[in-house]
Structure 1
Amino acid sequence: MGSGATVRAWRPRVAGVVEVLHAHFPSHAYPSHTHDAWTVLIVDEGAVRYDLDRHEHGLAQAQVSLLPPHVPHDGRSVLPQGFRKRVLYLEPDRLGGTNLIGAAVDQPEYVDPLLRHRIHQLHGVLEDGVEDLEAQSRLTLIEERLGQHLRRQVIDPPDRSDAGVAAQLRDLLDAHVPDGITLEDASKLVHAHPAHLVRAFSREYGMPPHRYLTGRRVDLARRYLLDGRPTAEVATLAGFYDQSHLNRHFRKLLGVTPASFVRS
């Protein structure tokens, strides 16, 4: 690793994500290697050149790169000042499995502003580490869009609004406000694909499932606060990660902290 390089890596509590990596490499160049996971890469500073299966490719800040499992690739900076990148490593059975490796080898870069923005948003959620349902929701939409690229389908085909599916998901969220429910478990109970669940719910109720659940948790926290329970206890009872997590969402939704809410 070159001088001045910084790396941060962790495994989040999100099914399907093997590892998250944030790195700054002023001079480091990767030798040829492989991963046993799908590699979803965005560059925040600089530009990267790499060989994938003996063919040269380049990745700039406006693009998203998807490197398939088990295919050799290397990596090096195009510019003398190096590059800064963020990476998601997804389990090999995601994105339709290994039968789409050939498509990723043929076309590993995509100019797709919406996809890149969604990946950027997911990294923020994963770095925060406390919004599990939001991370699951964002990941399933990213995987859906990557799958569309791999299958050469039209990007973002219109979905049919499904009020029944949305209502079933809302009932599940209402029944699991403090403990929450994973998108994968909800999809099994409703018998709908996770991406369809997120889209149907968002169309029907004007917000994604994770935002709805957060609102319900804030409502529950208000009831506990008005009952006179201490804020730290309320955070746990209402399903928040900790008191700081409660404070952030409470203020975002109501404009005041829990303490100010109780005093009022």
Structure 2
Amino acid sequence: MNSTALSSNPLYSTGSFEPIERVANRLVGAAFSPHRHDTYTVALTMAGVQAFNYRGAMRHSLPGQVLILHPDETHDGHCCDQAGFVYRAAYVPPTHVQAVLGGAELPFVVNGVSTNPALIAAAFNMIIDCEGVEDPGAYEDALYDLAQTINQEAGKVATVRIANRTAVMQAREFLETAVVSGARLEQLEQVTGCDRWQLSRDFRALLGTSPYRYLQHRRIDLAKQLLREGATLADAAHGAGFADQSHFGRTFRKAVGLTPKEWLRSDLFRTIIL
């Protein structure tokens, strides 16, 4: 029997939040005894079938599905066959989720397993895309999406309110001046005088994207400009405010659908929007 920790990062920095733990694990011929966490367990099954007892029933998670286990709920975990299973997980404190939901009751995903594409995407962003990214804004953005999608999966109805357009436009103007230096929700809160999580909701409602992703797109625009002017990939990444070339490459592909090198070889490189 063996359980292999593929990786573990218990000190992942989240800026103004306390650190969260991320793990990647392979379980073969072994089992987790009943236990509980004081965090949300957000886990993606990467290979095999993950079986576990949860709230009086046996559950199964297949590759591509997501587990959302509520804090302080007892669960175990075992293999369904000799091949075992591989999973990656993040343990998100309920206080972080509460920061986004503003005091609402913590959402509860009754079955513990979901095939909801939006929730799977949010979990993937939290567990995998944000791993190793030094910018705390990436965690804030992932946390917002995760908290909202868990809330929706739990059947909670969002309160309808009129978005604060003035605050959103102020935030947008500030982001335009902070493309290279970066900006946190805390800074946007100070600039606009609007609660950071409410501002994040309003920004999405009026501009169709989050403050963090808006900033990332402006960074990609700047990087494209630098590349057109002859900058190397490393210089373009640094000049546009990315922590490193790897982060630049991942963000560029998400925004453009091509790697920076592929973009340079494509006709899009020569396209300039007037």
Corresponding residue of 1:2: 2
Corresponding residue of 2:46: 44
Corresponding residue of 1:256: 264
Q: 1:189 Cα shift?
A: 4.8
Q: 1:211 Cα shift?
A: 3.3
Corresponding residue of 2:272: none
Superimposed CA distance per residue, residues 69-124 of structure 1 (whole angstroms, 9 cap, x where no aligned partner): 334322112333211212110123233399957x7485534442321122123333
CA contact (8 A) 1:17 1:91 kept: no
What RMSD, in angstroms, separates the aligned Cα atoms of the two structures? 4.0
TM-score by length of 1: 0.73
Q: Distance in 1 between matches of 2:109 and 2:227?
A: 55
TM-score by length of 2: 0.71
The percentage of aligned residue pairs carrying the same residue is 25
Residue in structure 1 matching 2:97, options 95, 98, 110:
95
Corresponding residue of 1:76: 78
1:173 counterpart SS class: helix
Gaps of 5+ in 1: none
Corresponding residue of 2:26: 24
1:45 counterpart SS class: strand
Q: Does 1:169 align with 2:171?
A: yes
Residue in structure 1 matching 2:156, options 142, 153, 156:
153
| 1:82-231 map, 5 Å | 82-96=84-98, 104=108, 107-127=111-131, 129-130=133-134, 132-150=136-154, 152-154=155-157, 162-187=164-189, 189-190=191-192, 191-194=194-197, 196-220=198-222
Q: Distance in 1 between matches of 2:184 and 2:32?
A: 36
In structure 2, the CA distance between the partners of 1:121 and 1:224, relative to structure 1 (3 Å rule), is closer
Corresponding residue of 1:59: 60
Q: Distance in 1 between matches of 2:69 and 2:140?
A: 21
Aligned residues: 254
Deviates more, 1:5-14 or 1:105-114: 105-114
